[in-house]
Structure 1
Amino acid sequence: MSASRGEFSSRFGFIMAAAGSAVGLGNIWGFPTQTASNGGAAFVLAYLVLAFCLAYPALMAELVVGRYGQANAVSSLKKISKHKWQHPLAFLVGFGGIICAGLILSFYAIVAGWMISYTVEPVAQLVGAQEAASWITGQSLTRNLLFAGGFILLTVLIISKGVENGIEKWSKRLMPALLGILFALIAYVFSQDGASEGLRNYLLPDFSAIFEPSLLVSALGQAFFSLSLGTSVMIIYGSYISKSENLVTLGASVTLIDVFIAFVAGLLIIPAMYVAQEQGVQIFDEAGKLLSEDTLVFQVLPALFDSMGSAGLYVGFAFFALMSIAALTSSISMLEAPVSYTVEKFGMDRKPATWTIGALIGAVSTVILLNFEQLFGFVIALTTRFGQPLLGLMCCVFVGWIWHRSSLLKEIEQGNPDAASGWFWKIWPWYIKFVCPIAISLVFINSLR
């Protein structure tokens, strides 16, 4: 690997970076919201099954492609193509993933900006700046542009430092901080009245609801979104992994951490909803439907924090700081996908490439904010409901049907010499060839109804 591309300096560094990409608002904001909207524990069970049965095999496909190719997503997919006619398809899948990552970051920055504004608001209240505090959490175009732009700027500054000094260094700092705040908040919420009812709803499934099509579609989309699949991100990260590392265990570690933090986030958010309900905040309508799905953390939880008196300012600050950190660990990887392609394809230096791509994504975020009602939900559905599953499926097709089996095994054996005799190689190749494409296709087709 050329020194100019960079490489993760340690196994821990990669796991923190890849887990950071996987662990974001999709886990801490999206997963609990989806859980509350889709039958509680039934959704949790479906998510856990799909994460390991479909998302993990697809994650492994992307990591293997990346480490073999040692390049951006487009170049890596072209390297495993056996015939020239497959190159346009490789470009479509690789570049489609890059565009998908950029579009996700464009709406992600808006939501992350909201998280940062709610982190700053308690500080403004503590210093007596009440008017500023009200403006910070008000839905104004100026406020949204300011905080979304600030978040993109922060992401650009980290990515411009490169793989080891930017992505890896900050992932190793932010992920432990995220976990520390998360567990401290869980301990606090568990001590409040109403938490036990939320815990029962979260942990005791209604098995009859598990096979509902809408629940399965939501669970698969959540698994793909939280693991950054179909965005070229994991192909890029795979290209930065040393050849001496065991990809099978690395991929399993990332999946376990992602699922673990999503599950733990649910232990915070779902009981917190019922604590808020115990204190007079309306969570569900008369039919039992969640009142504020996408805006749950901005309506229900601030109301809960307000009911805590002065302590609520500190708890609210800690919670939204947690959300902001989670957003940043994911945005780092999403910006790296288009930046790595630009650097390698056009020979640009990393810093100007990062600032250029960051500016483009900022422009898209601005367009979304100026046409919020029409574009915000549309871009989310386009990328997470359609783009990611389809692109993830195509990556499975490349690995299962286009890549030579002997070459694939040889790549996996680097860092894992006994791979051929292990259970992973006995199951995964046919699984990625048949089961994943068929299952993902069926769930996707059902989502179009």
Structure 2
Amino acid sequence: MHIRESSYGYWSSHRAFLWVAVGAMLGVGNAVRLPALMAEYGGVLFLLVYLAGLLLVGMPLLIAEWMLGRWMRDDLVAGFARLAETAKASRLWIVAGGLALLTAGLILSYYSVIAGWSLAYAFRAASGAFGELTADGASQVFLNLAQDPERSLSWHTLFILAACIVVSHGFREGVERASRGLVPFALLIVVATCWYAIERGDAGAAVETIFAPHPERLGWRGVMEALHHAFFTLGLGMGVMMGVGSYLPVDAPLRRTALAVIGIDTLFSLLVGFAVMAVVLGAGLQPTSGITLMFQTLPRAISADLGGSLFAAGLFLMSFIVTMTSATAMLEPLSRYFMDRQRWTRVFAATCAALLVWTIGLGTLLSFSVLQDLRLFGRNFFEWVQWLTASWFAPVDGLLICVFVVSMMPRDLVRGLWGESRPWLFPVWFALLRYPARIGLIAVLIYSTGLLDWLVSLWRV
């Protein structure tokens, strides 16, 4: 089947696309979460289940999203409308495109706030502010930033403005150039932080904590956590991969690129997690998770000397960088939607998309200050956005895409999306998308929404 040409052009090379895809995936939140999950659910055994989830669930869907984006060459809503018409399916399938755009915008809105904090902490660390902090002191440093709307707003605005400027320059001169420069630089910082962790932290304890096999800890919950993390670490179900796929040439090596980005993302997560874990354990502290680990536990573990300051500054700068590359990849599909639907220029479309995301992000920003006590069913605005995107929107959209490709599209159309390269692999990929991927995505959705815990509680009654 003929795949039309892109009216906007293509990525400059396959290697350039590799850096863009890696930049879209990388995130410090996911990176520090993988080693924490390994430590909790069986070490290297959890890692093996996680890798199986990446290859059997994540990779087939990742390739499918790239293929759909390459065929559409449109904004996601119009692209799904044209795809549904070609497949003689219901026009209601445009919901998949709209939900992907909504998910990307909402996730970016709170990513921006957290990335702003990372940049603020990078400057604080470079000034030597993190030296032998107590638990109360580290907590107070974070609260002074998060609960100050004016300072948080400044960093949030700075981050969104930077992402907007990058996207305004175009997907090649902006997004691609930023990823080609920033992602390798971030990887170099990771290597440097690992060297510091080996020299100054407790590397042996970190390796033991992360990788030691404990079969009794894995269980069904460990398997579900591995599948859940394998889905989210690849940036699936939020339109990002379809968006970057719309600029792919027909001869792009999708299978090889998918393996490469999965390998880099996994290695990045293990190295960042190791560095953080080694420094925290070396300081005699117990590792935590999420925002608490990055902004309260880690500052307490930093020594007051020059090496400690550089380590912390590098780690928070790296966090800002990888969030920036992810942000530009998320802002691009939103900007493309306004460009195609409203016929706006790229600069105006990117500005409007960024302004919309910035406005939504105010809810997250204020959830740590003046709106922290404003709750609906026990959750504030930030917690609702995070729960809806992670537990519902992204898994549902990933499942819709999987079902549409497998069950709604004619087989010859799907084969046309695959292209002429390595036709013998098409049945393998389609079988993986049809069975392990669909079943895995259903399991992820049931688990992330809490339904599986409820069913297990009924079984134990």
| Alignment TM-score, normalising by the size of structure 2 | 0.86
Q: Which residue of 2 aligns with 1:204?
A: 212
Q: Which residue of 1 aligns with 2:428?
A: 427
What one-letter code is carried by the residue in structure 2 that aligns with 1:361? V
Q: Within 5 Å, give how 1:142-291 maps onto structure 2.
A: 142-213=150-221, 215-277=222-284, 282-283=285-286, 290-291=287-288
Distance in 2, matches of 1:431 and 1:3, equals 29
Q: Within 5 Å, give how 1:117-132 maps onto structure 2.
A: 117-125=120-128
Structure 1 position 446, deviation (Å): 3.2
Distance in 2, matches of 1:242 and 1:24, equals 27
Structure 1 position 125, deviation (Å): 4.8
Structure 1 position 38, deviation (Å): 4.5
What one-letter code is carried by the residue in structure 2 that aligns with 1:274? L
Structure 1 position 440, deviation (Å): 1.5
Q: Does 1:323 align with 2:330?
A: no
Contact 2:363 2:382 in 1 (8 A): no
Contact 2:44 2:211 in 1 (8 A): yes
Structure 1 position 329, deviation (Å): 1.1
Structure 1 position 28, deviation (Å): 3.0
Distance in 1, matches of 2:336 and 2:14, equals 21
Q: Within 5 Å, give how 1:280-359 maps onto structure 2.
A: 282-283=285-286, 290-291=287-288, 293-305=290-302, 307-359=303-355
Percent same amino acid among aligned pairs? Answer: 27
**Secondary structure, aligned partner of 1:212:** helix
**Secondary structure, aligned partner of 2:219:** coil
Q: Deviations over 1:28-71 (max 9, x none)?
A: 34434444555544443332221121111110110111111122
Distance in 1, matches of 2:280 and 2:334, equals 38
Structure 1 position 293, deviation (Å): 4.2
Distance in 1, matches of 2:262 and 2:49, equals 15
Q: Which residue of 2 aligns with 1:412?
A: 418
397-406 or 117-126: which moved more?
Answer: 117-126
Distance in 2, matches of 1:193 and 1:309, equals 14
Distance in 2, matches of 1:193 and 1:351, equals 46
Contact 1:26 1:225 in 2 (8 A): no
What one-letter code is carried by the residue in structure 2 that aligns with 1:375? F
What one-letter code is carried by the residue in structure 2 that aligns with 1:210? L
Q: Residues 353 and 331 from structure 1, CA distance in 2 versus in 1: closer, same or farther, beyond 3 angstroms?
A: same
What one-letter code is carried by the residue in structure 2 that aligns with 1:302? P
Q: Residues 252 and 6 from structure 1, CA distance in 2 versus in 1: closer, same or farther, beyond 3 angstroms?
A: same
Q: Residues 178 and 401 from structure 1, CA distance in 2 versus in 1: closer, same or farther, beyond 3 angstroms?
A: same
Contact 2:97 2:239 in 1 (8 A): yes
Q: Does 1:11 align with 2:9?
A: no
Q: Residues 29 and 359 from structure 1, CA distance in 2 versus in 1: closer, same or farther, beyond 3 angstroms?
A: farther
Q: Residues 3 and 42 from structure 1, CA distance in 2 versus in 1: closer, same or farther, beyond 3 angstroms?
A: closer
Q: Residues 27 and 6 from structure 1, CA distance in 2 versus in 1: closer, same or farther, beyond 3 angstroms?
A: farther
Structure 1 position 188, deviation (Å): 1.3
67-76 or 103-112: which moved more?
Answer: 67-76
Distance in 2, matches of 1:102 and 1:410, equals 31
Equivalent position to 1:95, from 90, 93, 98: 98
Q: Residues 122 and 46 from structure 1, CA distance in 2 versus in 1: closer, same or farther, beyond 3 angstroms?
A: same
Q: Does 1:60 align with 2:68?
A: no
Contact 1:217 1:444 in 2 (8 A): no
| Alignment TM-score, normalising by the size of structure 1 | 0.88
Q: Residues 259 and 409 from structure 1, CA distance in 2 versus in 1: closer, same or farther, beyond 3 angstroms?
A: same
Q: Residues 29 and 150 from structure 1, CA distance in 2 versus in 1: closer, same or farther, beyond 3 angstroms?
A: farther
Structure 1 position 261, deviation (Å): 1.5
Distance in 1, matches of 2:195 and 2:350, equals 40
Structure 1 position 259, deviation (Å): 1.9
Aligned residues: 425
Structure 1 position 124, deviation (Å): 4.3
Q: Residues 439 and 134 from structure 1, CA distance in 2 versus in 1: closer, same or farther, beyond 3 angstroms?
A: closer
What one-letter code is carried by the residue in structure 2 that aligns with 1:323? S
Contact 1:93 1:391 in 2 (8 A): yes
Structure 1 position 160, deviation (Å): 0.6
What one-letter code is carried by the residue in structure 2 that aligns with 1:246? P
5+ unaligned residues in a row in structure 1: which ranges? 127-132, 284-289
What one-letter code is carried by the residue in structure 1 that aligns with 2:163? T
What one-letter code is carried by the residue in structure 2 that aligns with 1:24? G
Q: Residues 223 and 348 from structure 1, CA distance in 2 versus in 1: closer, same or farther, beyond 3 angstroms?
A: same
Distance in 2, matches of 1:271 and 1:147, equals 29
Structure 1 position 401, deviation (Å): 1.1
Contact 1:114 1:144 in 2 (8 A): yes
Distance in 1, matches of 2:291 and 2:175, equals 29
